[in-house]
Amino acid sequence: MRAQNISKIILFSMLINITACKKDEQKKETVMIDNLLLKEWVGPYDGVPAFDKMKVEDVKAAMENAMAIGLEDIEAIANNNEPATFENTIAAMERSGKDLNRLFAYYGIFSSNMSSPEFRDVSKALAPKLSEYNSKINQNEKLFQRIKTVYNAAKTKPLEADQQRVLELRYKGFEMNGAELDTEKKKRYAAINKELSSLYSDFSNNTLHDEENYITYLTKDQLDGLSEGFIKSAAAIATANGQEGKYAITNTRSSMDPFLTYSTNRELRKQVWTNYYSRGDNNDKYDNKKIIAKILKLRRERVELLGYKNYAEWRLQDRMAKTPENAMGLMEAVWPAAIGRVAEEVADMQAVANKSGDNITIEPWDYRFYAEKVRKEKYDLDSDEVKQYLQLDKLTQALFYTAGRLFNYKFVPVKEGTVPVFHEDVKVWEVTDKDSGNHIGLWYLDPFARQGKRSGAWATTYRSHTTFDGKTNVLASNNSNFVKAAPGEAVLVSWDDAETFFHEFGHALHFFSSNVKYPTLNGGVRDYTEFQSQLLERWLSTDEVINQFLVHNKTGEPIPATLVAKIKKASTFNQGFGTTEYLASALIDMKLHLADPENIDIAKFEKETLAALNMPKELPMRHRTPHFGHVFSGEGYATAYYGYMWADVLTSDASEAFKEAEGGFYDKDVADKLVKYLFAPRNSMDPAEAYRLFRGRDAKIEALMRDRGFPVTE
C-alpha cells in the first residue's frame, strides 16, 4: 500500500470533463490568444505542454477565462432545442473541457511540483471560484433534465455498453451532487462547497508550511550511525539552504525515515520524529485542527441535505465496498492480527535494547532504529547493505523491463530539449509498442525532493487516452521525493522506496494501457484504482528483476544470492508496524466521518479513538489527523483511505494467480488477461466484474493474511 500516493489533484478531479461543448475556434482564439496556459499544445507527439514557459502570473486570468467559456458551453447544451439524446447531451459533455483540462496540467505542476508563496495566494483566491463553477454545472436544472431524459430512455432501450457506463456515471455524479435538490437547498449546497474549497486550500498550505520550515540541522558530531551517502546528501541540502558546514534533515518521509532508522542519537531522533508527526499540529496560525472540525461539520450538513445520515454513507455508495459497514468489516478483520504482531515486534526490540544495555523503553522514535537491529539479529539482514544494490537509475530500467514483459512497451529517452520540462530534474521517455512501433505516449519522471514540492510519491496524467474523436496518446508522469545524491554519487533508495517506485509506475501503466472511447471512463473507483499499482510492486521481488538490475553501486557486482535469500525470508518482517500505522489512519478517517461533528475536538477524538482501538503506544498513525492530506486537502480519499487495504485484498489474490501459473510472474497468458481485464478497461466496466473475468471468482482475504504472515482461518 502506498498511503502517500495521490494520482490527481483532489480538489479538481471532480471538475475534469464536466465543462461544456466546444465553441467555434475563432472565438476561442480571440479570447485566449494572449495567455500561454490556454493555448493549444504544439510541438512533437501531438503537442506537449509548454512547461518551460509557464508563469504563475498567468494562472488566475487563464482559469477565469476558461471557466467563463465553459459556462457558456454548458448553457448551449442545456438550452439545445432538439430532444435530448446521448450524442447531443452526454457526448457533447464528453467533448467539453479541453481548454480547462490543458490548464489543469499546468495548475497541477504549480500546486504539487513547483509551489511558491505567490502560487498559494493565487490558488487560495481561485478555490472558491472553482467551487462556484462546479456548482453552476452540477445544479444546472435544464442540463440535468436532459441527462435524466437520456438516462430514463436507456432503461427501456439500453445503449452500447460503454455509452451506458458513461451515462450512468454522469447521472450518478449529478444525483450525488445535489441536482435534484430544491432551490434553497441547492444554494446552501453550493455555499458549503465554496467554503470547503477554501478550507481544503488552507489545510494544504498549512501542511506545506510545516514541511518547509521544520528542518533539523546537524553538526558533524551528530552524525553517528548515518551512512556516508546520506551524510553527503544532507550536507548538500544544508548548503542549498544557506547552512554550509551543517547537515539538513528535512521534514519529509524520505529524509525522516532513514534518519530514524540509523541515527544513534536518541534525542535527535525524538526531535526529527516530533517535527514530522506534528505537521499541522503546532497550535499556531498554521494549525489544522479547527479547519478539520469545520470540514467535518460542513461535509455532514451537505450530505444531510441529500438525505444521508453521514458522509461515509453518501461517499461509499459508488465504491466497491458500497457501505461503511463493509469497509469497517475488512479493517476490523485485519486489525487484531496487526496489533498482535506489533506486540511481538516490540518485545523483540525491547529484548535487543536490554541486551545492549541501553536502559530505555521503546518509544515511537525508537521503532525504526531497533527494528533494524532486530532485522539484523533475526535475519542477518542489513537494510543499508541492501540499499547499496538499489540504484535509482537501475530501478528505472527495471520498470521498463517489467513493462516490456507484461505490456510489450518500449521506453526510449527523448532527446534533451525536444520536450519542454518544468525543472532540470525532470526526464522524459517516449513509450511505444515493441512490435508495431506505434506511439503510445510520453513518460515524465520528476524523482527528487526540493523546496516547493509536496511530500510523498504520486502519478498523474497531463493527457489521457481516448478514441472518442480520434486516438489520443498519453502524457503521464511519476513524481517522487528521493533525496538527491552528492555529485558523482549514485542515488540509493530503501527497499520500501523501491516498492513505492514500482507502485507509482503501476499507475502510469494503467494510464498508458487505457483502451476506452470516452474521457469519463478514464476515471476510476477509489478502492479499486490502487489495486493495479499495488500489484506491480510484486515484480520488484522477481528473480528476473533482481538478477539483472540489483547491482552494487560501487563494484557493479550483482546482488549475492545469499542476500536475496535473506530479503525473501524477511518479507513479512515488520508487517505489524506497516499494517497498523496504515490501518490506524484508515480507521480514524472512517470514524471521524461517522461521528457527530458538532463541537468535535479533533485532538481529543484522535486520542480517545486510538485508545479504544488499543493502538500500540510505540508507533503513530501513518498520517496523523492534522496533516492527513488524503482526507482533508480535498475529498478524493475522504472515508476512502481504507481503499488501499481493499485493493490489497485484490492484489494478494491476483498475485497468487501468477504464482500458480506455469510461467510465474511473467506467464504470458495471465499477463494478457491482466492487461485485458484489469488495466485496459479503466472504468468502462464494474470493477468487481472485471476482477471476476480475470480470476474466475471474487477475491479472498486469506491471500492478504498469508502475504503479511498473519494467522489464517481457512
Segment 579-625, tens digit of pLDDT: 999 999 999 999 999 999 999 999 999 999 999 999 999 999 999 99
Average pLDDT in the 372-400 region? 95
Query: Which of 72-86, 243-257, 700-714 is the least confident region?
Result: 700-714
Nearby residues of 215 by Cβ (< 8 Å), 6 or more positions away = 241, 248, 249, 250, 251
Q: How confident is the model at residue 96 (pLDDT cuts 50, 70, 90)?
A: confident
Q: What is the mean pLDDT of residues 686-712?
A: 93
What does pLDDT average to over the chain? Answer: 92
Assess whether pLDDT exceeds 50 at residue 8.
Answer: no
Q: How far apart are CA 602 and CA 592, in angstroms?
A: 9
For the segment 62-90, the average pLDDT, to the nearest whole number, is 94
CA distance 119 to 113: 12
Q: Is residue 440 helix, strand or coil?
A: strand
Please tell me the distance from the alpha carbon of residue 388 to that of residue 369, in angstroms, as a whole number. Answer: 19
The per-residue pLDDT for 97 is: 76
Give the separation between CA 94 and CA 520, rounded to whole angstroms. 7
- Alpha-carbon distance of 98 to 113, in angstroms, equals 22
CA–CA separation, 707 and 652 (whole Å): 7
Residue from 200, 168, 194, 183 nearest 305 by CA: 183
Q: Is the pLDDT of residue 44 over 50?
A: yes
Least confident of 69-73, 614-618, 655-659, 675-679: 69-73
How many whole angstroms separate alpha carbon 631 and alpha carbon 525?
A: 16
Least confident of 31-35, 173-177, 545-549: 31-35
Tell me the mean pLDDT in the region 44-49.
94
Q: Predicted confidence band at 472 (pLDDT cuts at 50, 70, 90)?
A: confident
| pLDDT at residue number 340 | 96
CB 639 within 8 Å of CB 589: yes
pLDDT at 468 over 90: no
CB distance 466 to 472 below 8 Å: yes
- Given a cut of 80, is residue 12 above it in pLDDT? no
Is residue 17 pLDDT above 80, yes or no? no
Q: What share of the chain in percent tops pLDDT 70?
A: 95
Above pLDDT 90, what percent of the chain? 88
Residue 589: name the closest of 518, 555, 639 by CA.
639
Give the span between the Cα atoms of 684 and 695, in whole angstroms.
Answer: 18
In the predicted model, is pLDDT for residue 322 greater than 60? yes
Domains of the chain: 10-209 (1.10.1370.40), 214-277 (no CATH), 287-377+570-641 (1.10.1370.10), 392-534+549-560 (1.10.1370.40)
Q: What is the mean predicted confidence (pLDDT) over 66-93?
A: 94
State CA 413 to chain mean position distance: 25
For the cut 50, the answer to whether the pLDDT of residue 166 exceeds it is yes
Residue 714 has what pLDDT? Answer: 59
| Average pLDDT for 280-308 | 98
Name the pLDDT band for 34 (thresholds 50, 70, 90). Answer: confident
Top pLDDT among 74 and 274 is at 274
The region of weakest confidence among 69-73, 308-312, 669-673, 698-702 is: 69-73
14, pLDDT greater than 70: no
Please determine, for residue 541, whether its predicted confidence score (pLDDT) is greater than 50.
yes
Residue 513 CB burial class (10 angstroms; 0-12, 13-18, ≥19)? buried
In the predicted model, what is the mean pLDDT of residues 564-572?
91
Q: Residue 10's pLDDT is what?
A: 34
- Look at residue 496 and tell me whether its pLDDT is greater than 60: yes
Q: Among the residues of 311-449, which ranges form H helices?
A: 311-315, 324-355, 367-379, 383-387, 392-407
Cell numbers that stand for 574 in this block: 515488520
Residue 7 pLDDT exceeds 70? no
Residue 441 pLDDT more than 80? yes
CB 460 within 8 A of CB 477: yes
Give the mean model confidence (pLDDT) for residues 5-16. 37
